[in-house]
Amino acid sequence: MFFSILGSSVKIIASLPAWTVKLHNRMSNCGRPLAAVCQLNSTPDKKANLCAAKELLEEAAQQGASVAFLPEAFDYIGSSQEETLALSESLEGHTMTRYSQMARKLNIWLSLGGFHERGPAWDVDQRTYNSHVVINNKGQIVSIYRKSHLFDVELPEKGVSMKESAFTIPGPTLVSPVQTPVGKVGLGVCYDLRFPELSLALQKNGAEILTFPSAFTEVTGPAHWEVLLRARAIENQCYVLAAAQVGRHHDSRSSYGHALAVDPWGVVMGDCGGEKAGMLLVEVDLDKMSSIRTNMPLKKHRRDENFYTRLSDD
């Protein structure tokens, strides 16, 4: 299925069509760069996941996207803590090598949001980083952000129980926004979305696009996903591009889906839905972003940081 919404600014590909549309120079007909926001259904089968992602990336490149965004756990979603750790790799392993080759072959940048990277002391501490890796169109890793807020949540009344810190090391620091063909991209991962300080720090350091590759649960997704993404877009006057996992991954886990693109005014440009893999093809209009920031200058109106840490008793 192929849909067009909001004029020509967004195309939603819910399942890959038998035909293709070539857009030259990785620009839309209006001359603005194109980003592909992808939705996957990862399982413990790494080979099948790679094939599914490859199909989407080939279509994204064919459609003219210059950057493609994949969700958290694009490599796999294990059915147990033991399987999750056993399937993990280093950045020099087979999975990242294959994605580097694809980026180079397809001449496309990749935002790989949530790679199970083996930690630095793997022999004595078998935990991973949840790593957001950016690869340029030459196949080179240009940035690595390791998820800093870990999803340790118990919602017994809603059937949600997860302790990411049991097998994941929190990242030590944020990383500077990455200059890409669609603009400067500030990197987060999933649960980071809930901490506005992170987004604001990235925006203050030049981010024009915030990205939160995710695997939101079917409980938290309907309540929080869209409203949080729109809030981050509005308060930072940035594009927000959020690739997502969708559907059942194995017997004990499923994800909400609804990979989303939001413009700097907070308007939802496209939604992949909650049923199947697919992608959004999004025009990024940095002139529009600049106009919004000029007309409502939040950065100018924001008080200095000390103002927000001092509360008067009067």
- Positions marked catalytic: 72, 147, 190
Exposure letters 269-297 (e unless 16+ CB within 10 A, then b): bbbbebeebbbbbbbbbbebbeebbeeee
Spatial distance between the Cα atoms of 129 and 291, rounded to a whole number of angstroms: 38
Dmax over CA atoms of the chain, in Å, equals 68
Spatial distance between the Cα atoms of 71 and 216, rounded to a whole number of angstroms: 10
Q: How many CA atoms lie within 13 A of 100 on its CB side?
A: 13
Pair type for strands 253-256 and 244-250: antiparallel
Spatial distance between the Cα atoms of 228 and 226, rounded to a whole number of angstroms: 5
> Assign residue 116 a region: left if phi > 0, alpha if psi is -120 to 50, beta otherwise?
beta
Contact in structure between 175 and 143 (CB atoms under 8 Å): yes
Nearest-5° Cα angle at 144, 138 to 145: 145
Torsional sign, CA 231, 232, 234, 239: negative
Neighbours of 114 (CB within 10 A): 26
Residue of 227, 215, 233 lying closest to 274 (CA atoms): 215
